[in-house]
Each structure stands twice: as C-alpha cells, then as structure tokens.
Structure 1
Amino acid sequence: MSQVSLPPPLHPELPLTALAPMQDVTNHWFMKVIAHYGSPDYFFTEYFRVNDTSRLNRNILAAITQNDTGRPIFAQMIGESIPDLVRTAIELCNYNIAGIDLNMGCPAPRIYRKNVGGGLLLSPEKVDRILGELRQAVNDRPMTVKMRVGFENTDTFYEILDLINRHSIDLLSLHGRTVKDMYHGPVKYDLIASAVKRVHCPVLANGDIHSATKALEVLSQTGAAGVMVGRWAVGNPWIFNQIRQALRGEPITPVPFFEVRNYIDRLWQTPTAASMPMRSRLGYLKMFLNYIALTVDETGDFLRLMRQTQTEVELLNLCDRVFLTDLTKNLALAPSLSL
C-alpha cells in the first residue's frame, strides 16, 4: 500500500494546522464557530465509538454531513474490534470525509481500561493488525492516527512508529505525553522530533500549544509538518489566524475582551440551546468557559466565580462584568499556564 495525498491545506507554503478532536467539544456547531474566527487546515470529529453493536452516532455524523466550514474533516474512530473498525471505516467512507483517523491516545481511564484509545499503545501486535486491516479497507482515502508517546512509559514508542511506516499511514498527530500523564507535566517535544525523523508521513505536534509564539517554538524544536491545537483553541478561537500571522512574521492582531464576550454569545447560540434544560445549557457553557478562563485571568478569580454561578443570567452578567467593563483590555497573547 502506498500513501494517499492529504487534502490541500489553506496555505500550502505554511506548516499545517489542525483542531484536535475533543469529546463533547468539537461538534458541528463548535467547528462552525472556529471557522468564523479563522479555520485550521483540518478538522477532526469527536470519536465514533466502535464495537459489535455500534452504529454511526448521528450527532457526530452531523459535523460531516452539515460541514459548512469550507475545510476538510477527518472522521475519528475509537475501538479495538477489527471487523467492527473495518465495517465502520467503510461506512464512513460513504460520506464526504477527508480520511479516517484512529484514536490511539485517549487518556480517560474509562476508555483505556477497555483496551481502546491510549490502551492500544500497550499492544503493538494489536496495533499492527488493526492498522493492516484498516489500511486495506481504506485504500483510496487518507488513513491517519492520533496517539501519545506511550502508555505509562515510552517502551513501545519506536515499535509503534515503525508500524505507522509499515502500514503507510498518511498523517500522524502526536501528543508528547504518555496516557498516564493525562494533561500534566512537560510535553516531550524531543520525542516528537524523533518521530518526525523516523516516520515517512507528516507529523502534527500536539500538546500545550497555547499561543502562536509557542507554535513557532514547537515547529522549530520538532521539525513537525504542523501543529494540532486542542484546549487552547477553545479558549482562543483566533489562535489559528495568529499562528499564520506569526509564521509570516506579521504582528499578531490583538483580540479585545469585548470580542471574547461576543465569542461566548456565539458558543451559546447553538441550534439546540433553546430546547435544552437550563441546567444543561449552563453546564454546556461552563465547559467552554473553563478553557476561556485559562486565557483571560491569571488569578483564577473568573474561573472560581464562573463555577459558582447558578443561573444563565448570573453567568452572563459575570461575563459582562469581566469582558465589557474595560474596553481597552485584550486577550493575553501568552496565557498563564499556572491554572
């Protein structure tokens, strides 16, 4: 099997950018919101859970069937049953997807305990069989993998990178932490640099890319073909445009706080918001505000007050106080990492 061409990026002369797949976050509406502020080259869906009784999740499928971002979307799967992964991949190829992505990095214990997501890194033989069968089934579309540098340690790292080569994977998104690290501790960018040298496909560096400046540092340190940004793009949807500005050596356009307040409204106005119970709506918005808090407030006051609010009115009034009181304030270009 030879490699398949990836969809053309927005700016072929610049490194690639991608929005990381995040469960419950990167749905159709959120991709649309990100596209409004400046799309990455590639989007990835939340993962489709795959097992012997699984069917394609309609909500996740909507990100593909209603894709109006103007950018390609890869369909991500999580599972370990080879016949069912093959069945699901073939089914997904009936839709307008950029390719199939296999999740080998999810660090949630309830996931890896089922030997899926990050749990697969414990079993290179299983990875070998899965990638072999999937590559066979998905031979005319890109086949991509998102993984971490290991489960508890990096014992299987190079063996799995060699499998990425053996099965002609077209793109590797690599988070520079182990599964057990979750989102804590330093990202091992040196291991991403080793992967870049070892695999034949483009590598997207992932993990703590919190600003455009950081993206440039990571690209230079790893030699990666691009960056994948997750949590920090939720807090700052302008980040992909800022990365492009930084790569071109242009000054980064500041984002006024009142624009952040508009972004919160946009997140709020999901097509289903009106039919959701108030507690669910509040929980949904707080999920995003957890990330936004990291980029706006080093003291943690906003985060604390936001989590204490009980009603929509309270929450939105707090947002008004924080984001609309001082119209000269801008979003920090290098957010605090202490929270």
Structure 2
Amino acid sequence: MQAITHLPFMRVMHAFGGPDYFVTEYFRVYEGYVLDKNILRSITENATGRPVDAQLIGQHIPSLVRISKELLEFPTSGIDLNLGCPAPVVCRKDAGGGLLRKPDHLNRILEALRKSIPGRFTVKTRLGYESPEEFTRLIEIFSQHGLDALTIHARTVRERYQTPIHPEQIRFAVQTMPCPVIANGNVVDVSTGQNLIAQTMADGLMIGRGAIRSPWIFKQLRNAYAGEPVQTITRADLLEYINLLYDTIADDLPVFDEQKHVNHMKKYLVYIVQGLDTEFEHQIRRATTGKNFKQTCLTFLDSREPVPVFPPNHSKLFCGFDTLR
C-alpha cells in the first residue's frame, strides 16, 4: 500500500510478530524510470530478518524487464507484479488492475519477466476488471508462465473494496494452478483468516488493511493454528501500537515536519478507529499537532477495555467480511 507499508511500518509490524514475508510498496515502472531509493530502503535496510519481495507496477515491457534485473542486484527475495491496484490514476495508464483489461499484453509481460527473472517471480491479481467471469481466462494465462506463487484479491477492480469477496474463485485457482495460491481480501481477525483458508484451501494469506487495523493478527493466527491462547487486544494495547507507529515513522524522517507527520498518521488511523468511537474519529481527523494527536489517542484509549474484534461491516474501508465469520 503506497505511502503506508514502508520500511518503518514493516519495523512496527515485526515488533508485534509480523508476517512471514513482506512486499514493498510498488515501484511505479515506466519508460525511463529510475529506482525509487526510499522504497528500495525496505529491501536494503530491512533488519527484520524476514524476506522482502520487490513489487512492480507498470505495463512497459522493456522497462519492467530492466528494473527487475536492477532489483535482483539487491537482497530482495523475489519480484512481484501488481495486477490488483484499483486506483483510477493507475488503471488509466493500463497498469495494476488496469492491465487485466488487456490479457494479450499481460501475457507478453509475464513471458518477458519470467525469462528475465531466474529466481522467485510472483503475481498479485484481482479476479478481473469488470466481472469475476474474466478470471478463467486470466488463470489460463497465469498457468503458462511458471509463477512461484499467485496471490488473489478475490474482487474485481470495479468492486474495489465495497463488496464481499468471491472465495470460490480462489478455490478454483487452487485447483488449477501448479503453484501455491495466496488468498487476500477481508481478513480482519483470526476467524475470517481461518475461514478464508477453509473455504479456499489456499496455501496462505496476504493481509493488508486488516494488519494496519491490528498488527497482532499475524501472531494471533499463528497461535490459533498451533492451538495456543489468542491474545485479547485492549484499548491500551492499541494506544501502545499507535504511539510506536508515530515515533518509529517520525524517527525515520530525514526532516521532521510535525503537521505533515500528523497528517500522514491519519492515513493509518482511518483504519484503526473503525468501530471504536465516533467522537474519537471526529477528533483525530482534526488533530494538527503531535501533542493534540497523542492526547486524543490517550483520552479514548487509556483503558483495559477490549477493542471490538470486527470493524463495521459496511464502511468504505471494510465491507462484506461477515461472509467469512
């Protein structure tokens, strides 16, 4: 997630258990593109000990091949092609989810990248641009190129994040693809994660928005599968997480601008405050200083009251996950 899942965010996730591997923000590849040094830091300065895949987005084949080869000179664990981003500014340029409208060109991209990447090469995709019915054709293409893994966000580009997912399509991919399949979409707690695996038989989970909301989710899932107690998260735990996130990102900035940093933190808080308190969300959106931001969080989170396990089911950020409960 651009400007969200950067190096300091990875550090914070790792402090709470973290995923088995990370994926960078995407390198937005186009003709003449030069590697973004800040995103590259997620690979070169990552001390979590976890593998980090470099994520590409774009549609210009020579540039994608060139950047892939450049990235392989760094200690990345693999190259991942993003076919899932639904942002209009990306799709208009036939990148991300926009590429799903051009399956023949996508086929050529995958062929070129597979030939140029000797190691791990993976893809993250949506089910199609307009309809899940497009997925059959996409699977035919994906299965031809020796992918090392396929991650599936089980919605179309048009559906963005505003519908339930289609787990039956992930299961179809599991039954069809010769590589591991990773399920993505609507995992917000242990039960939704376990149920998505049970419904799809996928080999693993990719978690984005659910991890921003609750960085404990990775450890909780590991504990649940191991038959161990699962931690109950309190408001005080959430306060600790927010403060660590605030300080870790601030410490990583080359130049600290308080107001810009507070505004950046709001990108995380919109996920975190879902379902807590309407007044908390109202006040945090209007915070302009670090002192005001932290005091607002302290006011609403300084207690041992458990936080809701689930966010609201019909918000703009979390929608339709109740089908996995």
| TM value normalised by structure 2 | 0.93
Matched, 1:82 2:58: no
Matches within 5 A, 1:65-80: 65-80=44-59
Counterpart position of 1:152: 130
Residues 8, 252 of structure 2: 8 Å contact kept: no
> 3-state DSSP class of the match of 2:143?
helix
Residues 132, 155 of structure 2: 8 Å contact kept: no
Query: Which runs of no fewer than 5 residues in structure 2 stay unpaired?
Result: 316-325
Counterpart position of 2:179: 201
Matches within 5 A, 1:201-280: 201-269=179-247, 270=249, 271-273=251-253, 275-280=255-260
Counterpart position of 1:167: 145
Matched, 1:331 2:307: yes
In 1, the alpha carbon distance for the partners of 2:244 and 2:290 equals 15
**Total equivalences in the alignment:** 313
Task: Specify whether residues 136 and 274 from structure 1 end up closer, same or farther in structure 2 by C-alpha distance, changes over 3 A only.
Answer: closer
> 3-state DSSP class of the match of 1:38?
coil
In 1, the alpha carbon distance for the partners of 2:104 and 2:133 equals 14
2:165 to 187, 197, 219: 187
1:104 to 71, 83, 103: 83
Counterpart position of 1:14: none
In 1, the alpha carbon distance for the partners of 2:297 and 2:224 equals 29
Matched, 1:290 2:270: yes
> 3-state DSSP class of the match of 1:25?
coil
C-alpha deviations, 1:129-171, integer Å up to 9, x for none? 00001000002x1100011001011343112112211101111
Residues 273, 281 of structure 1: 8 Å contact kept: no
Matches within 5 A, 1:21-36: 22-36=1-15
In the TM superposition, what is the alpha-carbon distance from 1:274 to its structure 2 partner?
7.6
Counterpart position of 1:118: 97
In 2, the alpha carbon distance for the partners of 1:212 and 1:284 equals 28
Identity within the alignment, %: 37
In the TM superposition, what is the alpha-carbon distance from 1:275 to its structure 2 partner?
2.3
In 2, the alpha carbon distance for the partners of 1:175 and 1:228 equals 9
Residues 52, 84 of structure 1: 8 Å contact kept: yes
Residues 125, 152 of structure 2: 8 Å contact kept: yes
Counterpart position of 1:321: 299
Letter in 2 for 1:199: M
Letter in 1 for 2:194: L
Letter in 1 for 2:189: S
C-alpha deviations, 1:177-231, integer Å up to 9, x for none? 1111111111111111111111111111111101011100000001100111111
Letter in 2 for 1:127: L
> 3-state DSSP class of the match of 2:35?
coil
> 3-state DSSP class of the match of 1:249?
coil
Counterpart position of 1:3: none
Query: Which runs of no fewer than 5 residues in structure 1 stay unpaired?
Result: 1-21
In the TM superposition, what is the alpha-carbon distance from 1:330 to its structure 2 partner?
2.1
C-alpha deviations, 1:1-57, integer Å up to 9, x for none? xxxxxxxxxxxxxxxxxxxxx111111100011001012111000000111110110
In 2, the alpha carbon distance for the partners of 1:143 and 1:275 equals 36
Letter in 1 for 2:301: F
Counterpart position of 1:18: none
In 2, the alpha carbon distance for the partners of 1:135 and 1:29 equals 31
Alpha-carbon RMSD: 1.4
Residues 27, 39 of structure 2: 8 Å contact kept: yes
Letter in 2 for 1:196: V
Residues 165, 200 of structure 1: 8 Å contact kept: yes
In 1, the alpha carbon distance for the partners of 2:132 and 2:300 equals 43
> 3-state DSSP class of the match of 1:166?
coil
In 1, the alpha carbon distance for the partners of 2:313 and 2:296 equals 23
Letter in 2 for 1:241: K
> 3-state DSSP class of the match of 2:240?
helix
